Structure 1
Amino acid sequence: MGSPDSSTTDPVFGVLLPLWQVVIGVLVLAAIAVSIRRILMRGPTRMGGAMLLIAGCVVGLAVVSYLVQQF
C-alpha cells in the first residue's frame, strides 16, 4: 500500500485542468461584463479615466502572465 502510481493520477489532472480553466475564464468574463456595465452607467465624464484604468490592468495582467510562463 505505497503511494499511488503517477500514471493513475495524471489522467485525472489532465481532465480537471481544462475544466478549471473554463470556470476561471467564465468568471473573468462575468466580472468584465459587470464592470463594463457599471462604467457605461456612470456616463461619458468618467469613461476616460475608467478606460485608462482598464488598459493598465490589461497590460499588467499580460506582463504578469508572460513572466509566470518564463519561470
Structure 2
Amino acid sequence: MPTQPNAALSGQTIQVRPLAEILQCSASSLYAAIKDDTFPFPVIRIGGRIVIPTAPIRAALGLDTPAVA
C-alpha cells in the first residue's frame, strides 16, 4: 500500500525513499535528479544524508490548508 502523503509529509523534512513512494517513482530517479540539480525542490545535505523540506512538497501537491480569515 502506498504511503499516505499527509502522514508522511507531516514532519519538517522527508528522506528520499519515502518521498519516492509518495511520488510513485524510484528512489534512484530522485537521487539522479538531485545529483543533476534537476530536482524541483530544495535539498539539504548533511554529510552523506539527504533530506528534503516538506513545506514546498505539500504546497506543490495541494496538501497545505489555507488559513481561514
TM-score normalized by the length of structure 1: 0.28
| Higher relative contact order (CA closer than 8 Å, sequence separation 6+) | 2
More strand by share: 2
TM-score normalised by L of structure 2: 0.28
Higher helix share: 1
